[in-house]
Amino acid sequence: MNDNSVEITFTHEGTSYNGWATPSDKLNEDGEPKSWRVVLNKVFFGNLSKNNDKWVNNEERPEALTEAVGRYLNTVNGNNPSELPDI
């Protein structure tokens, strides 16, 4: 984890996840990171990015979990993720 990483903590389908996400230095036209490098429960989860407002992962991971992480990342700009309910 580096200085600009964001901590991730949430529960999805009864499983607790924690880790971090590091934003890419490249920004999209909305000023958001083009992608995020995500580690969950000490395992590399993948590089997540948005494609037509849908979160995609460069690794083969469950689509519902990728979407849950993406929803969490959506909150990073402007909200306190530690106050989020279970995803």
Question: pTM of the full predicted structure?
Answer: 0.83
What is the per-residue pLDDT across 16-25, written as a single tens digit (0 to 9) for each? 999 999 999 9
pLDDT for 15 beyond 90:
yes
8 with 72: CB under 8 angstroms?
yes
Number of structural domains found in the chain: 1
Could you tell me the residue range of the domain that residue 43 belongs to? Answer: 6-83
**Burial class for 67, CB neighbours closer than 10 Å (0-12, 13-18, 19+):** middle
Residue 1 lies in a domain: no
